[in-house]
């Protein structure tokens, strides 16, 4: 007779572990309003214009060092790819039958690169790079793609000003309801 199912097992384990559902809510923080500090910790996204970029800066030279230590194992020593995506090259390939979509050929906004690195990289330890390291790696990747020169240092003001080669390659959705929501 198999009347003891998985749901029952979970409920018994839950109640034994926490005593009661209300005690579990208290211990786990379920149903509680997050504090401003908790919200600030989660609200780290950067929009395409660079709104919410943090303080800090990073140079191409320091980015080369961080990239070598944190990124090259997956993306190759010059961003050519490996077990991770290719980050460089592909210029002019988007209109061909086999486009190569990289940071330099496809991405329309430089702030999006910063945001992605900051939230997701390195893969084995996301969100462990300092703001200065993220600015530096961003600068190095943009330099590898020929978008910024060697001596460049990026910060919250200069990063959004970087014009990506494919910035005008995306079509803005003409529907007013969608466009207005994107601009909010």
Confidence of residue 38 (pLDDT cuts 50, 70, 90): confident
- H-only helix segments in 79-175: 110-120, 131-144
Tens-place pLDDT, residues 68-123: 999 999 999 999 999 999 999 999 999 999 999 999 999 999 999 999 999 999 99
The token duo for 84 is 């991770």
> pLDDT by residue (tens digit) across 150-177?
999 999 999 999 999 999 888 766 777 7
Can you give the residue ranges of every domain in the chain? Answer: 1-32, 57-171
Q: pTM of the predicted model, to two decimals? A: 0.77
| The residue to which tokens 């005008």 are assigned | 168
Q: Does domain 57-171 have CATH number 1.10.760.10?
A: yes
The continuous run of DSSP H or E covering 63 comes out as: helix 60-70
């Amino acid at each position: 007779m198999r009347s003891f199912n998985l749901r029952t097992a979970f409920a018994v384990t839950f109640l034994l572990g926490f005593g009661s559902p209300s005690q579990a809510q208290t211990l786990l923080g379920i149903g509680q309003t997050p504090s401003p500090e908790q919200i600030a910790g989660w609200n780290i996204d950067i929009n395409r214009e660079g709104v919410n970029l943090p303080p800090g800066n990073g140079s191409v030279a320091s980015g080369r060092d961080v990239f070598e230590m944190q990124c090259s194992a997956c993306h190759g020593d010059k961003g050519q790819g490996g077990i991770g995506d290719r980050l460089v090259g592909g210029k002019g390939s988007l209109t061909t039958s086999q486009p190569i979509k990289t940071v330099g050929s496809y991405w329309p906004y430089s702030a999006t690169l910063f945001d992605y690195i900051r939230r997701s990289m390195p893969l084995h330890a996301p969100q462990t790079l300092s703001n200065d390291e993220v600015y530096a790696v961003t600068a190095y990747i943009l330099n590898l793609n020929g978008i910024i020169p060697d001596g460049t240092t990026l910060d919250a003001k200069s990063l959004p000003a970087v014009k990506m080669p494919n910035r005008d390659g995306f079509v803005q959705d003409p529907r007013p309801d969608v466009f207005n929501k994107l601009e909010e």
